[in-house]
Amino acid sequence: MRALPLAAALAILPMPLAAQGQAAAAPPAPPRDTTPPGAYFGVTEYRLAREKLTLDTDTRGFTVYIIGDMEGLASVVRNATEMRPVDRGGTPQHERFRQELTDEVNAVIAGARAAGATQFIVNEGHGGTLFRNVLPDELDPAAILIRGYPKPIVMSTGLNPRVDAMMIVGAHANAGSPGVISHSFAFDSFTVNGRQLNETGIAAFIGGEMGIPMILAAGDDALTSETREMLGPLETVTVKTVFSGSAAAALSPARVHGLLRAAAARAVRRARAGQLRPLVLEKPYHVRLCLRRGYVRDDWVRTTVGRLPGMADGGSPGCFAYTTSSAEEVGNLLNEIEWTVLKP
């Protein structure tokens, strides 16, 4: 074998330990953004958002407020590939499911319109792209679209008493439930007056105080089952049957769209007939929430959340209590916590 030149031979020798350590060292983390929620316009201005959207809400017909999440869409099973865009560590598959979200929202709009609904407000409810998932150019042109971040009360932004009914598509099961990508905001548990609520239930709670019923929820079988138990006999569409947190037997998107159209029409007819009632809980509202374990281990997050106005110790590490007579204030509190945990 021919001998290697000296420079080439040196190039293949092991690096000195100090140099190896330098090569493997991770770059320093950027400084944490500690801007408090009240210091950034648009985080806590829930009253202003309600007042502004009220001006756009038509009282002459039947207005439906539609929340679009993504984990409960047809065929979605994996958060890391389907729920995140490339620029946030995901894959190009996310674009396909942006289309699915838009198609499912359009399906419920079509069904609701067939039953007499006249106005449609669509609120982006999925934070994987900071609430920019629906394809605006392909959304039903009659819809008003709320998108972007920050926005007050992320899943109920601008909700007001002129709205006649709420719907949610792409919804997921509660934290701790055996559902696909199940979770609930930044919490492992969230209760009002001892009543466990998932994200759909929290939106129904906020709307219920305004007299607005949640009339349709679509997602996997874990979501539809637990939501009927929380809210009563609203219309539901089961788009997939859970096998694990990242596997399910899924219906085809085309079939799901047909089911959504039919269910939305039934839901509007039932709501107009007074058969679907708002969720009303007794005041004052005694809220207890426990942060996700990962946030509990983060001293800064845990301490910052504990210092939010009105927050009291909940009796366990990372658990807090809050009492109010305003469901909107509860939504604002959730938004302040989301602001805290969504920032690096």
For the segment 263-284, what is each residue's pLDDT rounded down to a tens digit?
999 999 999 999 999 999 999 9
Whether 212 and 236 map to the same domain: the answer is yes
Phi, psi of 58 (to 5 degrees): -85, 125
Asked if the structure places residue 320 within a domain, the reply is yes
Which helix (H) or strand (E) covers residue 29, if one does?
none
Q: 250, 272, 294: which is the final residue of a domain?
A: 272
Whether 168 and 309 map to the same domain: the answer is no
Whether 54 and 145 map to the same domain: the answer is yes
What is d(CA 265, CA 112) in angstroms, rounded to the nearest whole number?
A: 5
Angle in degrees, CA 65, 71, 74, rounded to 5:
90
For the chain, how many structural domains are there in total?
2
Whether 137 and 263 map to the same domain: the answer is yes
Asked if the structure places residue 194 within a domain, the reply is yes
The pLDDT, as a whole number, for residue 210 is 97
What is d(CA 133, CA 292) in angstroms, rounded to the nearest whole number?
A: 25
186: containing domain:
37-272
Asked if the structure places residue 41 within a domain, the reply is yes
**Residues, the chain, total?**
344
The answer, yes or no, to whether residue 9 has pLDDT greater than 70, is: no
Query: How many other C-beta atoms can be found within 10 angstroms of the C-beta atom of residue 159?
Result: 31
**Tokens 């939504």 identify what position?**
331
3-state SS assignment for residue 253: helix
- What residues contact 234, with CB distance under 8 A and at least 6 apart? 213, 214, 215, 216, 217, 227, 228, 267, 276
Question: Catalytic annotation on 183?
Answer: yes
Looking at residues 152-166, what average pLDDT do you find? 97
Whether 218 and 103 map to the same domain: the answer is yes
Asked if the structure places residue 19 within a domain, the reply is no
Asked if the structure places residue 97 within a domain, the reply is yes
Q: Rounded mean pLDDT of the chain?
A: 92
Highest mean pLDDT among 24-28, 201-205, 296-300: 201-205
Asked if the structure places residue 131 within a domain, the reply is yes
Task: For residue 344, name the pLDDT band (cuts at 50, 70, 90).
Answer: low
Q: 222, 244, 272: which is the final residue of a domain?
A: 272
Q: 272, 296, 330: which is the final residue of a domain?
A: 272
Whether 232 and 189 map to the same domain: the answer is yes
For the segment 105-137, what is each residue's pLDDT rounded down to a tens digit?
999 999 999 999 999 999 999 987 889 999 999
Whether 264 and 323 map to the same domain: the answer is no
Whether 199 and 241 map to the same domain: the answer is yes
Whether 255 and 300 map to the same domain: the answer is no
What is d(CA 319, CA 38) in angstroms, rounded to the nearest whole number?
A: 22
Pairing of strands 235-244, 214-220: parallel
Q: Compare 94 and 328 and report the one with higher pLDDT.
A: 328
**CA nearest to 123, candidates 245, 231, 212:** 212
Whether 140 and 230 map to the same domain: the answer is yes
Q: Tell me if 93 sits within 8 A of 76, measured CB to CB.
A: no
Angle in degrees, CA 108, 184, 169, rounded to 5:
5
What is d(CA 106, CA 64) in angstroms, rounded to the nearest whole number?
A: 12
Asked if the structure places residue 278 within a domain, the reply is no
The single residue of 94, 126, 172, 183 carrying the catalytic annotation is 183
Asked if the structure places residue 150 within a domain, the reply is yes
Whether 78 and 227 map to the same domain: the answer is yes
Phi, psi of 87 (to 5 degrees): -75, 0
According to DSSP, residue 155 is labeled: T
Q: Tell me if 155 sits within 8 A of 202, measured CB to CB.
A: yes
